[in-house]
Structure 1
Amino acid sequence: MALATPSRTAALLTVLLTLLLGAAHPAAPHEDPPLRRTVSAWLPYWDQEAAYLNALRHADQLHTVSPFWYETKAADRIAPHPGAGERLVIDGLHRAGIDVVPTVMETLRPGALAAIVTDPARRAAHADALLATAVSRDYDGLDLDYESHATTGNAEYAAVRDGYAALVTDVCARLHALAKTCVVTVMPKTATTGRIWDYATFGKVADRVRIMGYNLHWAGGTPGPLSTPRWYDEVLRTATALIPPERIELGLPAYGWDWPAAGTATDAGATAHVTWKEAEALRRAHRVPYRLDPASSTPRFTYTAGAHTREVWYQDARGVAGHLPVLRRHGITRTALWALNFEDPAIWPVLAQGAPRA
């Protein structure tokens, strides 16, 4: 047989040593990279403590929380809601790696918002007030959620649209100069709705445009789903033609409406807002079987209250799972949840299905 040469002996020793080291230190099992944080959510001030703790439980998916903390009262006055600016919430979210971008909303009397955004002096004063709010705490930016101008009449809508776009452009530029994030929340835009919103401008100047993907049927209308895959397809087809998809967050509902059933008497009571938790508790209390409407991928049920029939449409994890394929088709990976502690807990793993790996 052949004799071992020095070089062959060294090679054999190297192989033996590698095998021994491999046995002593086995290769680590393959692990998938973590999911990117692709979810933002609003935090309702009226349920602040529970919503805050809920956010911490889902910190691995949340990149931003927007506490619903401020309300515009006039061009130069932005008032805090109860609990606004609470240090425990801000610091706790930051420690969890979540940005805090509070929402400024408004419910001004008809025409008041239009008067602010179409007057250069008032608009500038309002931008100053918004920036003062942004620097009043250790905030990472602002979310502008202004909605009362959405019903502006035909004669002046173009001026209001341009004035609001000018306000958003100014505020975003000033936030960016402070290394803060600018978010603008808007209603859905389709071929026949939402023309007050200048999506093209928002897509250029804002870091994120949150489209409220709900209230296809709303409190003031007839019973029906808050959203449908077909409606989302139209909304996102319109949006992605004007806004880069990576800047869009589609707002998903974690709530529903409890209507008097269509055709009910006028004394049947008003339409009521219900969170997922409240809707499910109501369904179970009345022992109604769970039903997912196949056309809209939305849970619904009816029940009897006194002499009247009522109809509830809401959203849960199964419904959202039926809507996510539409988002994927349009390249939308970011979602926004209205609102923390309203939701079906099973929605979080469903939302993870739309999140790419880091």
Structure 2
Amino acid sequence: MVISHPRRRRLRSLAALGCLLLTALPATLAFSAPPDPARAGSPGPAGSSRGAAATRTASAWLPYWDVEDAYQDALSHAGQLHTVSPFWYKIASAGRLEGHPGAGNARIVEGLHRAGIDVVPTVMDMDTMEPGRLAKILTTPTDRAAQVGALVALADSNDYDGVDIDYETITTTPTATYEKVRSAYAAFVTDLCAALHSRHKQCVVTVSAQTAGTGRIWDYAAIGRAVDRMRIMAYDLHWASGEPGPVASTDWYDEILRRATALVAPAKIEMALPAYGWDWRADGEGSARNVTWKQAEELRRKEGASYQFDTVSGTPHFTYRDGKVPRTVWYQDARGVAVHLGALRKYGVRNTSLWALGFEDPGLWKVLANG
């Protein structure tokens, strides 16, 4: 099974929106500002650069298309969140980034900071990078340096605390070239993190799950040495274009973490949990519809479908009929996360991420607080 571009599949259904252009400083100038003494030290998941309590073990993404609900959700759970990553930016070229609508919203940034939450925006490559384009940037030293410069310039803007890199188009790199791209991406992350750390900024990298048959593009060991936190997207075990089934499972989490913790310190790992699911035709024909937990539960109640819980995978599901067409929905809720956290405890991983704020079962926060 190939697991690739999980957020691309979730973003495709959004209406096309205009972009706010952010042109990066030239790489030769991007590192000119002196570091801020107040940010001394490299912040990690257990302690925010803004003084968040060590008991905060969660981070979460903030979707730009539902920013206000997500923002209020973050403030409601500020006692558990050390970091929020607004899903705000994407690559335009090697030396230039673009912002989604609302990127850099000062009210959001300042409000999160007042709550003691670090703001580490996500930069993605989906829907801007044709196949092979990002790989070319990474494997061309001058382009790679320009990309580092653009990201450091972004981190310096808007009082951000660092950046989160979510580059997924390289996951489908052909076998003939993947070793070169894998090495180049690891070098890119190493250079970026060193530059960010020199400015007392956080370096967070989001990767897909690595198992026996997936995730080979990521050099976990090299990434783990360089970053403050490595977020593993532990979702889309079954996905929109695949067969119906759970978005995650207990056994899958065990395999992911067994491999990851052998290469990366558990304190640096964040297991990114789903707060969504997929709504398939029961026969598996066509592409599934994406649903948040809230949407799934609203649909279940509307259709009068009975809640079912698969004890093997540790995920809820239900079936209903859309006219004459039977459909099946697999998603995630607090009960399922409580089951899956057992794998995290087994491997000493305390930190989690959530995709995404505003999507989730409210009971999830108590489950996370209980570990």
Secondary structure at 2:148 match in 1: helix
Compare CA radii of gyration and give the structure with the larger one: 1
Match of 1:286 in 2: 303
Residue among 134, 157, 160 paired with 1:139: 160
Secondary structure at 2:272 match in 1: strand
Q: Write out per-residue CA displacement over residues 263-282 of structure 1, whole angstroms, 9 at most, x where no aligned residue.
A: 55xxxx63111000000000
Q: Write out per-residue CA displacement over residues 135-177 of structure 1, whole angstroms, 9 at most, x where no aligned residue.
A: 1210000000000000101000000001111111111001001
Q: Is the 8 A contact 1:75 1:116 kept in 2?
A: yes
Secondary structure at 1:259 match in 2: strand
Q: Is the 8 A contact 1:35 1:61 kept in 2?
A: no
Q: Which runs of 5+ in 1 are unaligned?
A: 1-33
Distance (whole Å) between structure 1 residues aligned to residue 210 and residue 370 of structure 2 = 26
Secondary structure at 1:92 match in 2: helix
Match of 2:62 in 1: 43
Match of 2:93 in 1: 74
Superposition pairs of residues 313-324 of structure 1, within 5 angstroms: 313-324=330-341
Secondary structure at 1:47 match in 2: helix
Higher helix share: 1
Secondary structure at 2:301 match in 1: helix
2:260 matched to 1:239? yes
Q: Which residue identity does 1:70 align to in structure 2?
A: Y
2:81 matched to 1:56? no
Q: Write out per-residue CA displacement over residues 294-347 of structure 1, whole angstroms, 9 at most, x where no aligned residue.
A: 111101011111221111100000010111111100001000000000000000
Distance (whole Å) between structure 2 residues aligned to residue 326 and residue 126 of structure 1 = 36
Match of 1:346 in 2: 363
The total of aligned residue pairs comes to 317
Q: Report deviation, 1:35.
A: 7.3
Match of 1:92 in 2: 111
Match of 2:206 in 1: 185
Match of 2:122 in 1: 103
Match of 1:126 in 2: 147
Residue among 271, 276, 283 paired with 1:255: 276
2:327 matched to 1:310? yes
Residue among 296, 305, 314 paired with 1:297: 314
Residue among 221, 226, 235 paired with 1:200: 221
- Specify whether residues 35 and 293 from structure 1 end up closer, same or farther in structure 2 by C-alpha distance, changes over 3 A only: farther
Distance (whole Å) between structure 2 residues aligned to residue 136 and residue 301 of structure 1 = 45
Secondary structure at 1:71 match in 2: strand
Q: Write out per-residue CA displacement over residues 189-247 of structure 1, whole angstroms, 9 at most, x where no aligned residue.
A: 01221110010011100000000010000111010001111000000000000000000
Q: Is the 8 A contact 2:242 2:284 kept in 1?
A: no
Distance (whole Å) between structure 2 residues aligned to residue 136 and residue 97 of structure 1 = 19
Match of 2:349 in 1: 332
Q: Report deviation, 1:131.
A: 1.1
Distance (whole Å) between structure 1 residues aligned to residue 290 and residue 278 of structure 2 = 5
Match of 1:171 in 2: 192
Q: Is the 8 A contact 1:257 1:312 kept in 2?
A: yes
Distance (whole Å) between structure 1 residues aligned to residue 284 and residue 67 of structure 2 = 38
Distance (whole Å) between structure 2 residues aligned to residue 133 and residue 75 of structure 1 = 13
Secondary structure at 1:342 match in 2: coil
Distance (whole Å) between structure 2 residues aligned to residue 162 and residue 297 of structure 1 = 36
Match of 1:20 in 2: none
Distance (whole Å) between structure 1 residues aligned to residue 114 and residue 186 of structure 2 = 34
- What is the alpha-carbon root mean square deviation over aligned residues? 1.0
Once the two structures are aligned, what percentage of the paired residues are identical?
60
Q: Report deviation, 1:76.
A: 1.5
- Specify whether residues 110 and 230 from structure 1 end up closer, same or farther in structure 2 by C-alpha distance, changes over 3 A only: same
Secondary structure at 1:249 match in 2: strand
Q: What is the TM-score with the length of structure 2 in the denominator?
A: 0.84
Match of 1:158 in 2: 179
Secondary structure at 1:349 match in 2: helix
Q: Which residue identity does 2:245 align to in structure 1?
A: G
Secondary structure at 1:129 match in 2: helix
Q: Which residue identity does 1:253 align to in structure 2?
A: P
Superposition pairs of residues 219-230 of structure 1, within 5 angstroms: 219-230=240-251
Distance (whole Å) between structure 2 residues aligned to residue 35 and residue 144 of structure 1 = 24
Moved over 2 A (4+): none
